[in-house]
Amino acid sequence: MTLPKLHSCSWSDERERKHVAVHGLAGAGPESLKDKELHLWVTYPEAKRKKKKKPGSRRKDLKLWAVVIIEELRQVDAFAYEVTLRRIFKHGERILRVWVCNDPRDQSEEAPVFSFLSPASLTPLEQYLVQRASIRVYEAIAETWSCLPQAGRV
């Protein structure tokens, strides 16, 4: 069996995110990400192409391959969260846990921002999907920075 070709990842709330970005509304922080889904789309290679496809028909070729759901976010520090993810593939699911931190006081190159908590080993595809979900949490933490009191401002 030939493996599918990875095409793209999209979030279940993609339209809402674009609306917020266009209208300049602030996000609600990491807690608002609960139950959001990351969808991985693929295309399957076809053994025989009988006729040339019409322009714009590529979208019809996309198939949903995997889903990662943000199940739970537990704040462990002011800017750090333990995130529980449910990875769902066609033939099974698995719980994955990661730690994400985005501290505005420590933006150095050496600052820890992400780590896998469990399970001990992940497939490369799982690593990719978990990293994409972690980036979303990392950005949501940054959105909370605007709520911080600004020291030294008059």
pLDDT digits (tens, 9 = 90+) for 21-42: 544 555 678 898 999 999 999 8
What letter would DSSP give residue 39?
A: E
Helix (H, G, I), strand (E, B) or coil at 24: coil
User: pLDDT: is 73 or 13 the higher one?
Assistant: 73
pLDDT of residue 59: 58
Q: What is the dihedral of CA 112, 105, 78, 120, to 10 degrees?
A: 0
For residues 128 and 82, what is the distance between their CA atoms, to the nearest angstrom?
18
Is residue 84 a contact partner of residue 72, using CB atoms and an 8 Å limit? Answer: yes
- Looking at residue 5, what is its pLDDT? 83
Q: What's the mean per-residue pLDDT of the chain?
A: 82
Question: Is residue 52 pLDDT above 80, yes or no?
Answer: no
Q: How confident is the model at residue 47 (pLDDT cuts 50, 70, 90)?
A: very low
- pTM for the full predicted model: 0.79
Residue 57, pLDDT above cutoff 60: no
User: Worst-scoring range by mean pLDDT, 49-53, 78-82, 104-108, 122-126?
Assistant: 49-53
Q: Give the up-direction half-sphere exposure of residue 45: CA atoms within 13 A in the CB hemisphere.
A: 6
* Distance separating alpha carbons of residues 70 and 92, to the nearest angstrom: 17
Distances (CA, A) of 144 to 79, 132, 148, 149: 9, 19, 7, 11
Strands 37-43 and 5-11: antiparallel
Ranking 5-9, 81-85, 145-149 by mean pLDDT, the lowest is: 145-149
Domains of the chain by residue range: 5-147
Q: Examine the pLDDT at 137 and tell me if it is beyond 60.
A: yes
For 103-127, the pLDDT digits (tens) are 999 989 999 999 999 998 999 999 9
| Distance from C-alpha of 24 to C-alpha of 26, rounded to nearest angstrom | 6
For residues 122 and 130, the answer to whether their CB atoms sit within 8 Å is: yes
- DSSP 3-state assignment of 25? coil
